[in-house]
Amino acid sequence: MTSTLDVTVPISVPRSPAAEPILRLRLGPCRLHLVPGDGPAWVSGTYVDKTGLLPLAIGVDGETTTISQRFDATSFSAVSAPPLLDLAIDRGVPLALVIETGAGDNAFDLGGIPIVSLEVKAGAGRFDLDFSRPNPAELRSIELSAGAGQLTARRLANGNFARLHVSAGMAASTIDLSGELTRDGAVRLDAGLASVDVTVPATTAMRLRTKSFAAGTSVSGPIVRDGADYRTPAAVAGAHPLLTVEASIALGELTIRAI
């Protein structure tokens, strides 16, 4: 029988002396809500678990702070209403963010949070990532990895990234490159046995090169094809900033949309 105990855990992690502290989130069944904050704690918030079956643990090891759920297969199967993890991250402290999730539905918005490195490892299920506002820090790299299910990444240009790598496995993926593009960026997309849908504003300079094996490619919008390359009008004109995309698809379908 599932417990109806409502456990609310306050969270307060003090500022780290590290120049770029690392925040690692290891989550099972959970709804995550992230917002930029104004201190005084580096990370603050609450964890609400209406089952009492998924206690939260917080550990600090050097420059790395890990926030994780403790659960086993029995508790996982008994959870009908996933806990809510609400976190505010000090907007004045650039950080490296690592998110590891299991199966289930996971959706969160990283808009406005000063991230210098982002790594996401998603299990099966649905995973939805958004940069609703520009990243105030320069993001060196984004690594998005999904096993099976559905991966959606929205307004990625707002992430202010230099390099983006998406490894989709068998996950159907939607990669939205809209947002405020302020510098050149390199994007690599790897997928097998899955569909990949890439969307970009027609006014953005993007050059996409495909390397596919037994995969279909469809194009819509004002995109010029030159062999294995696809370019938006801004890229044809030599405009910058420029997104350079390499897409490697095996036994799947690649859709490229300029809107």
82-106 pLDDT, tens per residue?
899 999 999 999 999 999 987 777 8
Give residue for tokens 């539905």: 105
Length of the chain: 259
Residue 42: the pLDDT is 96
Is pLDDT above 90 for 156? yes
Cβ neighbour number for residue 240 with a 10 Å cutoff: 10
Q: What was the pLDDT predicted at 79?
A: 58
- Mean pLDDT value of segment 226-247: 95
139-146 vs 115-122, strand pairing mode: parallel
- Token pair listed for 39: 């201190």
**Average of per-residue pLDDT across 7-34:** 92
CA dihedral (172, 149, 32, 189) in degrees, to 10, reads -40
What local confidence, expressed as pLDDT, does residue 5 receive? Answer: 57
Is the pLDDT at 108 greater than 60, yes or no?
yes
Residues 59/65, Cβ–Cβ less than 8 Å: yes
pLDDT-derived band at 168 (thresholds 50, 70, 90) equals confident
**Whole-number pLDDT of residue 78:** 53
Q: Rounded to a whole number, what is the distance in angstroms from the first to the last CA of the chain?
A: 50
**Higher-scoring residue by pLDDT: 213, 125:** 125
Specify the pairing of strand 7-13 against strand 43-49. antiparallel
- Stronger pLDDT, 150 or 115, i.e. the higher one: 115
Domain boundaries, the chain: 7-258
Cβ-based burial of 46 (10 A; exposed 0-12, middle 13-18, buried ≥19): middle
Phi-psi bin for 237: left (phi > 0), alpha (psi -120 to 50), beta? alpha
Region for residue 255 given its phi and psi (left: phi exceeds 0; alpha: psi -120 to 50; beta: otherwise): beta
pLDDT at 213 over 80: no
pLDDT value for 215: 67
> Which residues does 242 contact at the CB level (< 8 Å), separation at least 6?
184, 185, 205, 206, 207, 235
Residue 162 near residue 186, CB atoms below 8 Å: yes
Least confident of 29-43, 102-116, 209-223, 230-244: 209-223
Q: Determine contact, residues 136/123, Cβ cutoff 8 Å.
A: no
Q: Which residues are registered as beta bridge partners of 216?
A: 253
Is residue 8 over pLDDT 80? yes
